[in-house]
Amino acid sequence: MKANRTWWPLGRRACLVRTLAASLASALILFGAATATHASSRIKDLASIEGVRQNQLIGYGLVVGLNGTGDSLNNAPFTKQSLQAMLERMGVNTRGVNLRTANVAAVMVTANLPAFSTQGTRMDVVVSALGDAKSLQGGTLLVTPLLGADGEVYSIAQGPVAVGGFAAKGEAASITRGVPTTGRIANGALVEREIEFRLAAMGSVRLSLRNPDLTTARRIALAINDLIGKPVAEPTDPATVRLSLPEKFDGNIVDLLTDIEQLVVDPDTPAKVVIDESTGIIVMGQDVRVSTVAIAQGNLTVTVTEMPQVSQPAPFSEGETTVVPRTQVTVDDSGEKKLAIIRSGISLRELVDGLNALGVGPRDLISILQAIKAAGALQAEIEVM
């Protein structure tokens, strides 16, 4: 018994193969596009590790070598005292001497000590004028100890200050661009003291979510447990996931963190509308939803214009010159604005399009969103900055 077979001509078979290949490629492209629409992020980008953090440092120092743009010592007594103390340490006695130099400026030096910095490593520092100096351009920071919150010296800063702004002044005009009283010294500080923290010796560590959320914390824990195959991660609150080193693990906690930090998780965020009334900025998340609501917007604008006129008497008459008031009042009730209906369950794009259709600006849009929230039709949290 022979099986029934359908034979295609060679040309038709090649065309069919090309058609199937094109369909498969299109399906893969659509799948890739659908996958790319998800806002997935690595655990490394969603959470920070306990103990892996920077520390703020601060110090007080002097910048010298300025071209007459430093502090005026009469108006900045702390600069004068610091200059005299520095010269005395160098063996120069200036007590009782009237110093009039304008090439020195007192500054505050700030820096962030990177995590796990060892002795001898370098870091950047920011230098900011403390007195009435006009510019720090061309100056050099002298040796300045940088202190931590505990009062200990962790770094020493010194070097030429790089200033991005500038100031120029003439007899009748002046110009200032940027901030010439703030500069930066790249690799200008040396680490002198290390912060003791042994991450590899820890048996458990906490992951701190940068945007706390219960759903995101649970998804991170599930992703870690699926990779390890054991319940080593547990969400303890919306901002924390506790990670324990599993028994018989081939490595330490650093190896475990290296394995999990590249895991991809879909973060979840609450619906929120952020409003900055001072600048008129509005930021809305993609999950913001609005129930069916009707909105009408129109401001009553009253304009009062004063155009006083002068009334003069006829020549050689006994009259007096007087000012006669002329007032013009106009009212704009925005009659072209109509009532608009925003449907329930619309997306963020539809919400923005509907509000823009009313022809309102950011300031009025803030009032409209607050009114929608007061009516109970906005399913989102409003945060006013």
Q: What is the pLDDT along the chain (385 residues), one digit of tens a residue?
A: 444 443 434 344 344 334 434 443 443 333 343 334 446 889 999 999 988 889 999 999 999 999 989 999 888 889 988 998 898 888 888 777 788 888 999 999 999 999 999 999 999 999 999 999 999 999 999 999 999 999 999 999 999 999 987 777 777 777 777 889 999 999 999 999 998 888 888 889 999 999 999 999 999 999 999 999 989 999 999 999 999 998 888 888 999 999 899 999 999 888 888 888 777 788 887 778 777 777 666 654 545 565 777 777 777 777 777 777 776 666 555 555 555 555 666 666 676 666 666 666 677 777 777 887 888 877 888 888 7
On whether residue 50 sits in a domain, the answer given is no
Closest CA to 79 of 104, 59, 97: 104
On whether residue 7 sits in a domain, the answer given is no
Residues 78 and 172 in one domain: yes
User: Encoding tokens for residue 373?
Assistant: 């929230």
Query: Among 191, 222, 237, which residue terminates a domain?
Result: 191
Q: Strands, E, within 171-250: which ranges?
A: 174-177, 182-191, 204-209, 233-237, 240-244
H or E element that contains 217:
helix 214-228
On whether residue 374 sits in a domain, the answer given is yes
pLDDT at site 354: 67
pLDDT at site 43: 93
H or E element that contains 19:
helix 10-36
Residues 290 and 355 in one domain: yes
Closest CA to 341 of 357, 328, 325: 357
Q: What is the pLDDT of residues 244-284, one digit of tens each?
A: 998 888 888 999 999 899 999 999 888 888 888 777 788 88
pLDDT at site 113: 95
pLDDT at site 374: 85
Residues 216 and 301 in one domain: no
In the structure, how many helices (H) and strands (E) does the chain have? 7, 26
Residues 139 and 216 in one domain: no
State how far the Cα of 60 lies from the Cα of 162, in Å rounded to an integer. 18
Query: Among 191, 215, 231, which residue terminates a domain?
Result: 191
Residues 278 and 261 in one domain: no
- Domain of residue 376 covers 273-384
State how far the Cα of 107 lies from the Cα of 61, in Å rounded to an integer. 5
**Radius of gyration for the alpha carbons in the chain, expressed in angstroms and rounded:** 35
On whether residue 8 sits in a domain, the answer given is no
pLDDT at site 12: 41
On whether residue 46 sits in a domain, the answer given is no
On whether residue 40 sits in a domain, the answer given is no
Residues 140 and 237 in one domain: no
| pTM summary value | 0.67
On whether residue 142 sits in a domain, the answer given is yes
Closest CA to 364 of 355, 373, 353, 352: 355
In the chain, how many domains are there? 3
Query: Among 163, 191, 219, which residue terminates a domain?
Result: 191
Residues 256 and 292 in one domain: no
pLDDT at site 175: 79
On whether residue 199 sits in a domain, the answer given is no
Q: Classify 42 as helix, strand or coil.
A: strand
Residues 261 and 285 in one domain: no
pLDDT at site 232: 93
Residues 236 and 304 in one domain: no
Residues 248 and 375 in one domain: no
Residues 105 and 168 in one domain: yes
**Axis-axis angle for helices 253-260, 214-228 (nearest 10):** 110
Tally the C-alpha atoms within 13 A of residue 113's C-alpha that lie toward its C-beta. 26
Residues 78 and 176 in one domain: yes
